[in-house]
Amino acid sequence: MNYPTASRRHFMKWSAAFGTGILLSQITSCTRSGNTANNGADWESPPDLERAREQAKDFVTYGMPDDWANYGEVRRLFAEKYGFELNNTDTDMSSLEEITKFDAEKNNPRAICADIGLLYGVVAEARGVVPPYLPEKASVLPDGFKSETGGWVATYAGVPSIVVNADVVQNIPQSWEDLLKPEYKGKIAPFDPTSSGTAATSFIAMTYAQGGDEENMTPGVAFAKALTQQFGTAPDNAQTLEKGEAPIQIKYDFNSVAAAEKLKAKGIKAEVIIPGTSIYAPSALMLNKYNTAKMDVAKLFMDFVLSDEAQTAFAKFGARPIRYVVGDMQLPESAKANWLPEAKYAQVKQVKDWRKVNIEQIAQTWQDDVLGG
């Protein structure tokens, strides 16, 4: 989650690339050009271990910093398992920026893979930036948790939550609705569902709390309009949380817990709240179709993120491993040490069908009805 440069963990508008049409006009107009001659059959074949060994020496990623869902540990375990010398360079950015970057760099690809919000998987497919490859283990994932044609798979899930600097805010909000109280005006870090998967799923969670769902966002619009009036001007990051410039921030639960622990280590009081109604929101790993020079290590890494080792590493950070979410694996209690008490999740909902979640519609609703209505 590297401010003030463009970061997937703060909620910025990517309007310079997409304009007010947000996604659809750009996605539907873009071509699937690039070095496609090497895509297809090579991507569909199993990874070659020795080629992957050499490719791992320059392992470039987007939106996967070490402290995001424990990806630093996942990469370490991956390198250890195969005896790789893995040198990672990561640039933090939003889901939409990652997809745009894959496409912009198609003639000179850099990144091997990126972490995206699950609902951006269809955007990546429409943009034509992901290859026809799926790990064998993806067979345990239900429809909507993986691409039908390959290139991205769900990895873990988080729950939109609220983290509070309790030295600055003594009366802790307990629900989404509490955020509308006058005492919190100017204290909430802004977010933008037009570019951020975390923000988009948070908007869905708030909509559930107002009686809507992913197919009917209307009940959440009035609430979101009121919430934007509570936003401050300081961005969402660790520094503004610590300094009290943005003492209330909305993050996935595992990131809220990590942020709170960092504050507590500095003697700052902090609390994490799972609002009365929230949702389980999966993230996904997507591969870069254009980086054919690194396709073997890309395939091998996508295989690895669904392994017991990687899934347990996600859990130890506080995220819900996707195979655990769908009932395909058990976790030892030691792996859940950083999880909040299960009682806090009593009202957390499962989105019925992620295939019906239309990120373009969500973004357009936010732009037209929340900000412009």
DSSP state of 223: H
pLDDT in tens, 308-362: 999 999 999 999 999 999 999 999 999 999 999 999 999 999 888 888 888 888 9
- Ordered by where they begin, the domains of the chain are 15-156+282-343 (3.40.190.10), 160-280+354-371 (3.40.190.10)
Neighbours of 149 (CB within 10 A): 12
Pick from 96, 16, 1: which is nearest to 362 by CA?
96
pLDDT in tens, 260-284: 999 999 999 999 999 989 999 999 9
Inter-residue contact 184 to 173 (CB < 8 Å): yes
Q: How far apart are CA 106 and CA 123, in angstroms?
A: 16
Distances (CA, A) of 60 to 216, 218, 232: 38, 40, 34
Inter-residue contact 201 to 281 (CB < 8 Å): yes
Q: What is the pLDDT of residue 11?
A: 32
Q: How far apart are CA 52 and CA 82, in angstroms?
A: 9
pLDDT in tens, 131-161: 999 999 999 999 899 999 999 999 999 999 9
1 Cα distance to chain centroid: 10
Buried b (16+ CB within 10 A) or exposed e, 322-334: bbbbeeebebeee
Note down pLDDT in tens along the chain; length 373 residues: 332 233 444 333 333 333 334 454 444 444 343 344 444 559 999 999 999 999 999 999 999 999 899 999 999 999 999 999 999 999 999 899 999 999 999 999 999 999 999 999 999 999 999 999 999 999 999 989 999 999 999 999 999 999 999 999 999 999 999 999 999 999 999 999 988 888 999 999 999 999 998 888 999 999 999 999 999 999 999 999 999 999 999 999 999 999 999 999 999 999 999 998 999 999 999 999 999 999 999 999 999 999 999 999 999 999 999 999 999 999 999 999 999 999 999 999 988 888 888 888 899 999 999 998 6
**The dihedral of CA 326, 332, 334, 337: what is its sign?**
positive
3-state secondary structure at position 64:
coil
Neighbours of 260 (CB within 10 A): 21
DSSP state of 104: H
Inter-residue contact 34 to 40 (CB < 8 Å): no
Q: In this structure, what token pair is assigned to residue 204? A: 């869905």
Neighbours of 9 (CB within 10 A): 23
